[in-house]
């Protein structure tokens, strides 16, 4: 592909790594590897996007061609992980698809708090948490707008797992610090109760943070998880997967839910396959495991 053709894709060329060292066979190898490890399907339209994401990585390890780079990837799991991370899209924002949080607040929160008050464990999972905006929104909704009540809730046996494939996304979630404008979509009473602002930055407070455990996790690999969850959020992750991968993943989610537990998925995603035996639709992209 010529430089002019590359520029026509809208993707910037990377100094020192010419598109001439990136052929169709390289793209096909990358596509196969990414699908195998992360379930992501890369169409031909993504060819130059892949170049722009990976060329800086090649330059950083002094690799002169994509072919040589991919040979290294085959024998270096850490480098393979870095490749997958570079190709992972981590786009999210606070209070995204707010109807899910409204449903959680009205339908599920009272039940979870009742159980917590009875000394029972409450377990929540944000699968594909990206940089943390989803789980922090959810924790603020769970704790509510009253600091006094929320601090009491935070002392109960409530644990939320937030997992993502990309280490940089997990680290951003752990840091829990964002541009102030990013939280404008969160209702003001929740922001006031559970965040603090300094110099244009907003920090998630200690009470929500003590509830969450961040982990790097590939959803297509083994899950080192023993217990079941009351709630699983996995939204706008499966849009990058093919149908067999989606159906297998949702089946695993369904089996990881307690009977009566809820699964929230993205607005363009649907449950299909075997998971339909276990999950019933109870709201817009909200599913409940049958008892």
* Same domain flag for 20 and 143: no
The CATH number of residue 7's host domain is 1.10.155.10
- pLDDT at residue 28, rounded to an integer: 92
Tell me, yes or no, whether 92 lies in a domain: no
Active site residue 123: no
* Same domain flag for 149 and 19: no
232 in Cβ contact with 251 (< 8 Å): no
* Same domain flag for 141 and 245: yes
Q: How far is CA 54 from CA 62, 66, 103, in A?
A: 12, 9, 40
What pLDDT tens digit does each residue of the chain (291 aa) get? 322 233 234 344 455 566 667 888 999 999 999 888 888 888 888 888 899 889 888 988 988 889 999 999 999 988 988 898 888 766 688 999 999 999 999 999 999 999 999 999 999 999 999 999 999 999 999 999 999 999 999 999 999 999 999 898 999 999 999 999 999 999 999 999 999 999 889 999 999 999 999 999 999 999 999 899 999 999 999 988 999 999 999 999 999 999 999 999 999 999 999 999 999 999 999 999 998
* Same domain flag for 65 and 138: no
Residue 234's beta-bridge partner residues? 265
Q: How far apart are CA 269 and CA 265, in angstroms?
A: 6
9 in Cβ contact with 43 (< 8 Å): no
* Same domain flag for 138 and 241: yes
- pLDDT at residue 127, rounded to an integer: 97
Active site residue 164: yes
- pTM here? 0.83
- pLDDT at residue 288, rounded to an integer: 98
The CATH number of residue 139's host domain is 3.40.50.150
Give the domain-ending residue among 87, 120, 137.
87
- Please return the burial class of 138, using the count of CB atoms within 10 Å of its CB with bins 0-12, 13-18 and 19+: buried
Range of the domain at 15: 3-87
Tell me, yes or no, whether 207 lies in a domain: yes
- pLDDT at residue 249, rounded to an integer: 97
Tell me, yes or no, whether 180 lies in a domain: yes
* Same domain flag for 231 and 120: yes
Tell me, yes or no, whether 79 lies in a domain: yes
- pLDDT at residue 16, rounded to an integer: 54
Q: Which of 29, 47, 53, 123 is catalytic?
A: 53
Q: How far apart are CA 205 and CA 143, in angstroms?
A: 12
* Same domain flag for 245 and 281: yes
Q: How far apart are CA 262 and CA 281, in angstroms?
A: 10
Q: Which of 47, 82, 164, 230 is catalytic?
A: 164
* Same domain flag for 76 and 123: no
* Same domain flag for 73 and 173: no
* Same domain flag for 112 and 253: yes
Question: Count of domains in the chain?
Answer: 2
């Amino acid at each position: 592909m010529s430089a002019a053709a590359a520029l026509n894709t809208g993707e910037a060329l990377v100094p020192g790594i010419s598109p001439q060292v990136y052929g169709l066979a390289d793209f096909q190898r990358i596509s196969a590897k990414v699908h195998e490890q992360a379930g992501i399907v890369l169409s031909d339209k993504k060819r130059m996007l892949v170049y722009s994401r990976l060329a800086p990585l090649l330059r950083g390890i002094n690799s002169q061609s994509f072919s040589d780079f991919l040979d290294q990837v085959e024998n270096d799991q850490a480098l393979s992980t870095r490749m997958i991370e570079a190709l992972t899209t981590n786009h999210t924002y606070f209070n995204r698809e707010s109807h899910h949080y409204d449903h959680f607040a009205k339908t599920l929160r009272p039940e979870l708090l009742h159980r917590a008050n009875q000394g029972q464990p409450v377990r929540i999972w944000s699968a594909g948490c990206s940089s943390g905006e989803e789980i922090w929104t959810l924790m603020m909704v769970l704790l509510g707008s009253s600091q006094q009540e929320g601090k009491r809730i935070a002392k109960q046996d409530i644990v939320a797992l937030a997992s993502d494939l990309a280490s940089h996304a997990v680290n951003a979630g752990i840091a829990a610090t964002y541009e102030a404008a990013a939280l404008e979509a969160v209702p003001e009473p929740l922001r006031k109760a559970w965040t603090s602002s300094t110099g244009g930055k907003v920090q998630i407070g200690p009470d929500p943070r003590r509830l969450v455990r961040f982990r790097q996790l590939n959803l297509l690999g083994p899950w080192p998880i023993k217990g079941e969850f009351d709630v699983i959020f996995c939204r706008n992750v499966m849009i990058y997967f093919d149908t067999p991968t989606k159906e297998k993943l949702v089946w695993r989610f369904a089996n990881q839910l307690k009977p009566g537990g809820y699964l929230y998925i993205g607005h363009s995603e649907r449950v299909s396959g075997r998971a339909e035996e276990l999950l019933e639709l109870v709201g817009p992209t909200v599913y409940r495991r049958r008892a």
